[in-house]
Structure 1
Amino acid sequence: MKNSKKFFSKIAVMMIGVLFILSSSGCTASKDTDTIKIGASFALTGNVSVYGIAARNGVELAIKEYEETGGKLDKKIEFIVEDNKGSEVDAANAFNKLVDREKIDVFIGSDISGTTLTIAELAAEKKIPMITPTATALPVTEKGDNVFRACYIDSFQGGMMGKFAATELQAKTATILYNFGSDYSEGIASTFEEVFQENGGTIVGKESYTNDDKDFKSILTNVKAQNPDVLFIPDYYEMVALIARQVHEVGIQSILLGVDGWDGVIDQTNDFPEAVEGAYFANHYATDDPKPEIQNFVNNYKEVYGEVPNALAALGYDAGKIILEALEKAGTTEPEAVINALKTTNVDYVTGHIEFDEKRNPIKSISVIKLEQVNGKLQQKAYTTIEP
């Protein structure tokens, strides 16, 4: 009986060993060394899907062009995208799936700051090289030295629009109308106020609202009484369109100013173009910029997706190119090598010349767009470029 027990014990140990070897080899085999896996997560459905779809398309186009022109990477590129619906919970689940199940090498995303912050924390823990095309909140890249962004940060665009209002438009007074509780809106409002005053302007009013508000008439009555030269509204296009209609109805004559969240406002106001006609907003690029690299991108995007690319698409495209060039430069998918290659980025892209500061934020210019009505339809026109 004792010998029998010893025999079965030996068999059990051998079986455990075999299972360990098989499971280990299975893990190794699941990582296809002939394939580079680029993971991404965007809001492809939900309230901010206009951002996520455009950013996804931009990345997809960059990869498509890279493969068609015979990039230097000797491996197949697999682009794996998950829909996070604009939800932080879904964003975390999507990222974990990409890392744990798909075994991605690098990550691109997300689109808005809330979901990107959630993902950045996880990416820092797992040391996955990551770049967000469009999340502008300052803390995003503070999560880890593996986290980069292709867009400028909130404080930068707020300050640049404050400078633009005071120096280019010669505005003496401004009212700020911001979304209380939104880190994006509050952060931009703060730096606009600071820089506008530094350049000789006076803030004659600060009014706030919340995401739940629909009627702004009482707030706008205050703004009308303040009679500012410019009315600065740092928020996303859906809310801006709603406010701008009521600004026009109340009879406010101030010049409207905005930021990159306005990209998409034309689609919301084409039935009432007077609401935002003559407004200016900061953006990452202008579709009518004559530079060859910009027009090539615009034309290629239109050919593939049947529409003019917005700034989110351009940033997605640039983020894709940045990642591909870093992988080329690194010559490996080893995380530290890719991260170090990303840090040395110094190239002209569609949204401008990009190199990274010590916080892995890009040092780049801002395009100012003017909304003009042409034959009864709103159009975005390149107005000027503000250098950092």
Structure 2
Amino acid sequence: MIVKHVEIKRAIAAVTAAIAFFLIGCRPGILGKRDLGEEKSASAMHLEAVSYLRAGKYEKALTLLEKISARYPGYNNISTVEYQTARVLNLLGQYERSSREALKWMKRYPRHPDKKDMMLLLGEDFESLKNKPQAFYWFLEAKKESLDDPQKEEELNERLVYLINTCGIEDIPLLEVYAAGTHYAPLVRNRKAVVFFEHDDLEKAGAIAMDMVRNSRDPSWISQGRALLQRIEEEMTVRKGVVGCLLPLSGPFQIYGEEVLNGIQLGIFDCSKGSSGLEVVIRDTRDKQDHAVTELENMAHIEKVMVVIGPLSSKTASPVAQEAQELGVPIISLTQKKDVTDYGDMVFRNFLTPSREVKRVLTPSLISMGIRRFAILYPDNAYGRFFMNLFWDRIEDLGGSVTAVESYKIDQTDFADQMKKMTGIYYPKPASLIEEEKEARPWEEEECRIYPDKEEPFVDFDAVIIPDNFQRIAMIAPQLPYHDIRDVLLIGTSLWQSPKLIESAHDYIQGAIFPSGFFAKSADPDVRHFVDIYRKNFGSAPGILAAIGYDTIRLLKKIMAEEDIHTRKDVRDALFGFQSFKGVTGNIAFDSRGELKNEPFLLTVSGRRMVMVHRESEPAVRPYDLNQPVSRKTPGQV
């Protein structure tokens, strides 16, 4: 609806501007008794102003129009000049001045044949000034004057409906006055009920909804009133302390859903943190969109949960988030799906996203250390291409430069060609250049022609970025020094985080940096406690999914313990209100869009260990040193 509204606004603005500048400007006036010389001067200046308008030179046009008004107030087409002045001010973004000029015009020319265009301009001015009641009033007046133009009437209708559906509680009293006696009055009344509902004033919302059901003759308003009453009843009868979990517990992502659930279960029954007081309703998404949405609806209507954790996969994230927003159920999504929180204020995300990973490893401090030139070596798949573009954009934003970019196939094991291309020795020199070099070589270098040195690589980058999993890094890293790519910083993504990478390639990734959402070997007491109880219960170390599940349920446990949490909106407000919740994945807080505020951890490799890089020590990070003797293994051999 918003996109459509913007398109309509542009269309109306274009039509109005055309009418104002070309049709109105060309309408002949009624000459009276005045100095003919002044009339000619004003007319010439006006024509020049119109030419500037057509060329889009609004500042120059405005200067001339204001001169005409000041010098020639008796000009035959002064009403057109004053209209165009108001329109140009609008185009220049000076909405306050434009509205003042337009209101003066309306008082001077109340019966002017083009007053509907000025009314439209006033609507645009007030809408831009965020004054929705006044915008509504003037668009409504313009619509009354447009009964002979069905297309414009429909466009204005859509703008009026948009203003009603997006107004706030402070706008409603005036909208009720302006809409009285029109077919927009029931729409304003319905919006009033919805706004009360959104502000948790369920009693007032219910009273309006009941009135709609009892007194409206329109079946559609009766239906909407009943739907709102049902939502109010559900909101008032939600079961406090009941949390829904919507995870893939069968299908291809079962293993990941179960890991999240393991963390959730530990968070509920963790005795060191006190009794939970929570009831958890667990449902399987089966990684199917329709089924996931149905299960969410069941949890909202039947189980009456207060909040939902999940889903996990990108496939189900968007439809579930959209439905949760429509149902008014807060949901904490555990997905990397782009823009999933854009569905509304009921949708939160507690997960490490690609953009946050990239921002964590590429920081201004890295550039200030002198690491300004980057090579990107990436897998030719969706993940690799996506991260390649993210890294490239971030590098340019920081003022760095990308000096080499190469891709490889996902089943590739020998990366010699890519590394030769990165260092400029893949393509042979042209024969003509070789001949020129021979002729320019002095006779003293004759021996060099008999015993030539091999061509040296040209490494014009300070760091190599490789957005791939740890298995591939274990193959790529040893081949870098083999091809004489040394003393460069290796940068990766969270997929690098694995003990197996240290086991197989620690010699070649010293000093490398990559982000992490959870570091199981942290010295933090809470992390150690979580790792210990996870090992005791499940026989292995926890990963990031278990840690996120553990943190999310503990956050909700803290929220549910508050006495003033009675409705789903209370939960939403509490999630927005948390400034910092200390979890094993870091300090959790959400921004105004429902996205995590906290940064990922930054890890590096030191010896045979992965260690955390603290913010205050980041400038100490240096590229790994491969100048010590290294055995030349066969390319591709790990």
Structure 1 runs not aligned, ≥5 long = 1-27
Q: CA 1:220 to 1:142, structure 2 compared with 1: closer, same or farther past 3 Å?
A: farther
> Which region of structure 1 is more displaced relative to structure 2, 218-227 or 302-311?
218-227
Structure 2 runs not aligned, ≥5 long = 1-232, 425-457, 618-638
SS in 2 for 1:104: coil
Partner of 2:282: 80
| 1:211-250 matches, cutoff 5 A | 213-215=410-412, 217=415, 218-219=417-418, 221-223=420-422, 225=424, 227=459, 228-235=461-468, 237=469, 240-242=470-472, 244-249=474-479
Partner of 1:297: 530
Q: Distance in 2 between matches of 1:220 and 1:107?
A: 47
Report the TM-score, using the length of structure 2 for normalisation.
Answer: 0.46
| 1:33-48 matches, cutoff 5 A | 36-44=241-249
| 1:83-232 matches, cutoff 5 A | 84-85=286-287, 88=289, 91-92=292-293, 95-96=296-297, 98-99=299-300, 102-133=303-334, 135-163=335-363, 166-167=366-367, 170-178=370-378, 182=382, 188-208=387-407, 213-215=410-412, 217=415, 218-219=417-418, 221-223=420-422, 225=424, 227=459, 228-232=461-465
SS in 2 for 1:70: coil
The runs of at least 4 aligned residues of structure 1 exceeding 6 Å deviation read 31-35
How far the C-alpha of 1:301 sits from its partner, in A, is 2.0
Name the count of aligned residue pairs.
342
Q: Distance in 1 between matches of 2:543 and 2:285?
A: 20
Q: CA 1:77 to 1:274, structure 2 compared with 1: closer, same or farther past 3 Å?
A: same
> Which region of structure 1 is more displaced relative to structure 2, 342-351 or 330-339?
330-339
Query: Does structure 2 conserve the Cα–Cα contact (< 8 Å) formed by 1:54 and 1:313?
Result: yes
Q: CA 1:270 to 1:49, structure 2 compared with 1: closer, same or farther past 3 Å?
A: farther
How far the C-alpha of 1:204 sits from its partner, in A, is 1.3
Query: Does structure 1 conserve the Cα–Cα contact (< 8 Å) formed by 2:237 and 2:304?
Result: no
Identity fraction in percent: 21
1:273 aligns with 2:505: yes
Q: Distance in 2 between matches of 1:285 and 1:330?
A: 32
Q: Distance in 1 between matches of 2:399 and 2:265?
A: 45
After superposition, the C-alpha distances for 1:208-257 in whole angstroms (9 at most, x for unaligned) are 467xx32264545534547443222335x3xx523542453464645432
**Considering only CA atoms, is the larger Rg found in Structure 1 or Structure 2?**
2
How far the C-alpha of 1:50 sits from its partner, in A, is 5.3
| 1:210-359 matches, cutoff 5 A | 213-215=410-412, 217=415, 218-219=417-418, 221-223=420-422, 225=424, 227=459, 228-235=461-468, 237=469, 240-242=470-472, 244-249=474-479, 251=482, 253=485, 254-263=488-497, 265-267=498-500, 269=501, 272-274=504-506, 277-278=509-510, 279-329=512-562, 331-332=564-565, 334-346=567-579, 347-359=581-593
Q: Distance in 2 between matches of 1:215 and 1:256?
A: 20
Q: CA 1:82 to 1:209, structure 2 compared with 1: closer, same or farther past 3 Å?
A: farther
Higher relative CO (Cα under 8 Å, sequence separation at least 6) belongs to: 1
> Which region of structure 1 is more displaced relative to structure 2, 218-227 or 196-205?
218-227
> Which region of structure 1 is more displaced relative to structure 2, 155-164 or 191-200?
191-200
Q: Aligned partner of 2:492: which letter?
A: G
Partner of 1:57: 262
Q: CA 1:59 to 1:77, structure 2 compared with 1: closer, same or farther past 3 Å?
A: same
Q: Distance in 1 between matches of 2:289 and 2:492?
A: 26
Q: Select the structure that is richer in helix.
A: 2
After superposition, the C-alpha distances for 1:158-211 in whole angstroms (9 at most, x for unaligned) are 1221117824874332122446674x655554443344345453211233467x
Query: Does structure 2 conserve the Cα–Cα contact (< 8 Å) formed by 1:159 and 1:194?
Result: no
After superposition, the C-alpha distances for 1:73-121 in whole angstroms (9 at most, x for unaligned) are 4xx5134142545x65664465455446655332111334443233212
Report the TM-score, using the length of structure 1 for normalisation.
Answer: 0.72
Q: Aligned partner of 1:203: which letter?
A: V
Q: CA 1:150 to 1:204, structure 2 compared with 1: closer, same or farther past 3 Å?
A: same
Q: Select the structure that is richer in strand.
A: 1
Which of 591, 596, 604 is 1:362 aligned to? 596
Q: Aligned partner of 2:279: which letter?
A: I
How far the C-alpha of 1:362 sits from its partner, in A, is 2.0
Q: Aligned partner of 2:585: which letter?
A: T
Q: Distance in 1 between matches of 2:367 and 2:361?
A: 10
Q: Distance in 2 between matches of 1:230 and 1:45?
A: 41
RMSD of aligned alpha carbons: 3.8
Q: Aligned partner of 1:302: which letter?
A: R
> Which region of structure 1 is more displaced relative to structure 2, 121-130 or 241-250?
241-250
Q: CA 1:327 to 1:286, structure 2 compared with 1: closer, same or farther past 3 Å?
A: same
Query: Does structure 1 conserve the Cα–Cα contact (< 8 Å) formed by 2:547 and 2:585?
Result: yes
Q: Distance in 2 between matches of 1:147 and 1:197?
A: 31
1:380 aligns with 2:606: no
Q: Aligned partner of 2:362: which letter?
A: G
Q: Aligned partner of 1:162: which letter?
A: L
Q: Distance in 1 between matches of 2:312 and 2:616?
A: 24
